[in-house]
Chain A
Amino acid sequence: MITKADDVRLVVQPIFLEMEHLYKYEGPCRVGQGEALEVGFDAIRNAEWYKRFQKKLVDNIPDEVAEVRDIIRIKRTDNWDQEEEWWDRIAQTTGDTDFYIIHSFLGLDDIAVEFGERFNKPFSLEPEYENPCSTTSVGAALNARGRGYEFYGFRTWGELVWQLRILRARKVVRTSRILMAPRNGAALSFSGVDGAYDVEELTHNLGCRFRYISIHELLDQTSLASPEGNHTTPGRDTWDITDDDMREIEAMADDLIAHAEEVEVERRYVINSLKFFKTVRKHMDRLDCNGFTAPCPDSCSTRRLNEEQFTFCLAHSLNMRAGLPSACEYDACSVITQQALIAVSGQRCFMGNTMPIVKESDGRWATFGLGGIEEEDMPLLDEHEGHLYMMVHSVPNPRMNDPEQDAPYSLRHFAEEKGFGAVYRYDFNRDKGKVITVARFSPDGSKLLVTKGTIVCGNGFRQHSCNTAIVFAVNDQEDLFQKQMQVGNHLATVYGDYTKEMEALGRSLGIEVITA
């Protein structure tokens, strides 16, 4: 099953700690008059707090962020009870709970501290204004023990929910499974030396995991099954294209073509690209993967793509359009970066070669690939000189502005001579002035670069081949370039400013966050 980032929720377990006095008395921590000191009053007051806690959980925690379980109630009296039964009840929840929210109170904070020590699960108390003094007390107690307990302090429910969103994004990253389709070695492709040279490092640092299928087996399955089985898997039943698949593919091709503003690729090539897409999705589904990457040059040199007449671009675009991270050039780091961006923003990604746009000493724009910029936009480059960056690859998708609806797009082709390899074209000129968030995890997943820019113009909308780019302005081009060398070439982007969320996500993952 393919689990999208959008569908992942936290499991939140609330715990309500309550205290009842067994006798009527006043003293250094208890004052009152009349019935407020009577036995039974505490139970009534606790019940009100419990109802308020219930309501706050319902009113504040959005359904799409977390499933909130029924509250566990733990009561002690002024006998200072310490019952092991409490911990037995809580222990039953630790297997699948992502976060605990505890309502504490004077005389109960020690239970919260012990919870932290016993279970070492992420938790907070109810926001400070509801539990005055408890958060700082419990926080200091756990910090002093120096065991790295993941305790959070929140002033308000707004802060709490914001952090839950970050933790949800962390859960998305940690539980991601990426389908890799290598040709030779399982690590890098020949065009991506900055990929994950050891995916175990990404797993160690980020939690995500990897599943594999040989690119040859995958390519074999992009056609109808033959009785004797495929060349790479003779005699085996495999996930080849079926008649039903073909009907679906043909309908999809017709739909893509019908809704395109311009179509400069033959229908048969759209179908070929979709056969690959369908096959990839089948394997993503059977291996429970929610990300994909395959090597471009390694696959290209088999000549199979030339013979079978498709490229991977449309598959990547369609995955990204659907909110599934998908990267060119066997770049697992780009896949997991996209996943992180999707998780914090709910938006759809673009990725590509990302480079500064510079002039040579003779004053001419030196960076390659600027030929697709409209003539009337060239003055914009001069206007933003020294701040320009460009992100270019042939995998745009038309849902950058709205995850649920296509913006206008065109279809062109990747291969120049034969015209195969259907590709989306999206005109980023539509989005001039938009703020974008740009990021990438380093090859070992130990660092996360986060920055933002503003779209200056698009590039390559009318071109075929490996084109389509966002030209964007950043605050400090030199700073970004130097810092980019710690993470790699392919950066990924979503529309909107999610730098704060991405930085928080990086910290939450326990890795170094680099900002530019």
Chain B
Amino acid sequence: MGDGMCGSIKEQIVASSEKSLEFLAAIRGRPNDVRFVSENLKAFVLHRFFLVDENPSTEDIAELSRLSIEKLLEVNRQGALQDLSNNCAGVSSETMKKALLIMTLQKKLDVSIPAEENDTVSQIATAIVRQLAQPGR
């Protein structure tokens, strides 16, 4: 899935994030196919998390969040910390990243992903298919 990006790290992160939206469009185009949705969802997450080159096999969203933070701190520490919202309650970066991901999915796909179904790519894909595949959607 390497796209051969160039430019500053920050530009690459932004570009990867923008490209991620293409996979959501693909999902909207074929919402009945769980496998298709799952693959594109994984691609979305990897682009969103700037993990395309690493392509980790894990499906666990929290783990992917953690890997993303690790990488971002390595390549762009100031940017990684700056771009992640923080507050006095000491929200962990991984929690924030996952919450933002879910928020984006819900908004862009107009679905609701219950907390008990948002831990893995497969779970989220199933929730998406269940809702988008309904008649009238």
The answer for the CA separation of A106 and B88 in the assembled complex, in Å, is: 7
CB contacts (< 8 Å) of B88 on chain A: these are: 29, 106, 132-133
In the complex, whether A49 has a CB less than 8 A from a CB of chain B is yes
Minimum C-beta distance from B78 to chain A (A): 15
The answer for the CA separation of A132 and B88 in the assembled complex, in Å, is: 8
Check A38–B103 contact: CB distance below 8 A: yes
Main SS at interface, chain A: helix
The answer for the CA separation of A234 and B131 in the assembled complex, in Å, is: 80
Q: A36-B100, A48-B115, A50-B115 are in contact. Are A31 and B95 (CB under 8 A)?
A: no
In the complex, whether A105 has a CB less than 8 A from a CB of chain B is yes
In the complex, whether B85 has a CB less than 8 A from a CB of chain A is yes
Give the contacts of B56-96 with A (CB-CB under 8 A): 83, 85-91, 95-96
Minimum C-beta distance from A493 to chain B (A): 46
Q: A50-B115, A106-B87 are in contact. Are A35 and B95 (CB under 8 A)?
A: no
CB contacts (< 8 Å) of B118 on chain A: these are: 44, 47
In the complex, whether A371 has a CB less than 8 A from a CB of chain B is no
Check A41–B99 contact: CB distance below 8 A: yes
The answer for the CA separation of A36 and B91 in the assembled complex, in Å, is: 12
Minimum C-beta distance from B65 to chain A (A): 10
Minimum C-beta distance from B98 to chain A (A): 6
In the complex, whether A364 has a CB less than 8 A from a CB of chain B is no
Main SS at interface, chain B: helix
In the complex, whether B107 has a CB less than 8 A from a CB of chain A is yes
Interface flags, A111-134, vs B, CB<8A=1, else 0: 000000000000000000000110
In the complex, whether B55 has a CB less than 8 A from a CB of chain A is no
- Nearest residue, chain B, Cβ from A51: B115
In the complex, whether B124 has a CB less than 8 A from a CB of chain A is no
In the complex, whether A69 has a CB less than 8 A from a CB of chain B is no
Check B95–A48 contact: CB distance below 8 A: yes
- Nearest residue, chain B, Cβ from A29: B88
CB contacts (< 8 Å) of A30 on chain B: these are: 87
CB contacts (< 8 Å) of A359 on chain B: these are: none
Counting chain A residues whose Cβ lies within 8 A of the other chain, the interface size class is 20 to 34
In the complex, whether B46 has a CB less than 8 A from a CB of chain A is no
Check B103–A40 contact: CB distance below 8 A: yes
Q: Which of B95, B104, B106 meets A49, CB within 8 Å?
A: B95
Check B115–A45 contact: CB distance below 8 A: no
Interface flags, B94-137, vs A, CB<8A=1, else 0: 01101110111011000000010011000000000000000000
Check A44–B85 contact: CB distance below 8 A: no
Check A31–B85 contact: CB distance below 8 A: yes
- Nearest residue, chain A, Cβ from B89: A106
The answer for the CA separation of A106 and B89 in the assembled complex, in Å, is: 6
Minimum C-beta distance from A56 to chain B (A): 13
CB contacts (< 8 Å) of A33 on chain B: these are: 83, 85
Interface flags, A15-50, vs B, CB<8A=1, else 0: 000000000000001111111111011001101111
CB contacts (< 8 Å) of B119 on chain A: these are: 51
CB contacts (< 8 Å) of B103 on chain A: these are: 35-36, 38, 40-41, 44
Provide a sorted-by-A list of 6 A–B residue pairs whose CB atoms are within 8 angstroms: A31-B85, A35-B107, A40-B103, A41-B100, A47-B115, A47-B118
Q: Which residues of B contact A (CB under 8 A)?
A: 83, 85-91, 95-96, 98-100, 102-104, 106-107, 115, 118-119
Q: Which residues of A contact B (CB under 8 A)?
A: 29-38, 40-41, 44-45, 47-52, 105-106, 132-133
